[in-house]
Amino acid sequence: MVNKKHIGKVKNTGLNCVIVFRAIYDERGNIQDDTHCLVLETDRLPDMEHDDIVRVCESVNGQEATEFYEIASRQTFSDGSPMLQKLHKMGWLKKHPTNNILMTPNSSTSVLLSEVNEIIKKSASGMSPNDIKNSMVDDTDGAPRTQTSLNTQPSGEPIPSNDGVLDDSAIAKSMLTQAETFLAEAARLKEEAFTMDPSLKPKRGRKPKAVVDASS
């Protein structure tokens, strides 16, 4: 079964969507709010724009992009208009809580975008894959979780597992794979940005001198 990136559903409406920005970014490209995202509700689009979005999303370049906005910023619709610019101008980008967006990489799997963002944040902080796995299945303030939101939907192809449901290990591995992809792309984009504008690169400051207490 081939997985596809950027594809999802709006949980409370069931509308199909493309996740354009997995979080809200500031003007420098830093994450400002990872509890909200911007999605394109493809079910509401006119036919031309819908078909163009699907074409770009499913293309090789679209699937190589870590986030859809990266490829959309370099593409045009069939009428010649810049894709990402038109999405903004027409008001088609909708802000949603990340826990209301289900990522659906295939017809049998869904996972909350909020959990993917949590995995990415924990991985970036230096947590080991095993620690991340444990943190995603245990709640310190409540009853332990036996699994995350990742679940299976009816399809023609069964998911191989002992009881028909993905276990915690499979869930963690799937989410960590996505997280590692996001992190690798983020590092690449940062280096490109620093090359284009070296002034953006953080400068190392001198270590502060130790203060000697005269009274001692």
Confirm whether 116 is domain-assigned: yes
Distance CA 132, CA 109 (A): 20
Return the minimum-mean-pLDDT range out of 21-25, 151-155, 206-210. Answer: 151-155
Distance CA 113, CA 120 (A): 11
Domain annotation covers residue 204: no
pTM beyond cutoff 0.85: no
| Nearby residues of 4 by Cβ (< 8 Å), 6 or more positions away | 57, 58, 63, 105, 106
131 neighbors 168 (Cβ within 8 angstroms): no
Residue 101 lies in a domain: yes
Number of domains in the chain: 1
Residue 205 lies in a domain: no
Crossing angle of helices 168-196 and 129-137, rounded to 10°: 120
Q: Report the amino acid identity of residue 203.
A: K
Give pLDDT tens digits for 172-199: 555 555 555 555 555 555 566 667 667 7
Which residues are within 8 A (CB) of 127 and not within 5 positions of it... i.e. 6 or more apart?
135
> Structural domain of residue 98, as residue ranges?
7-196
Residue range 54-94, pLDDT digits in tens: 999 999 999 999 999 999 999 999 999 999 999 999 999 99
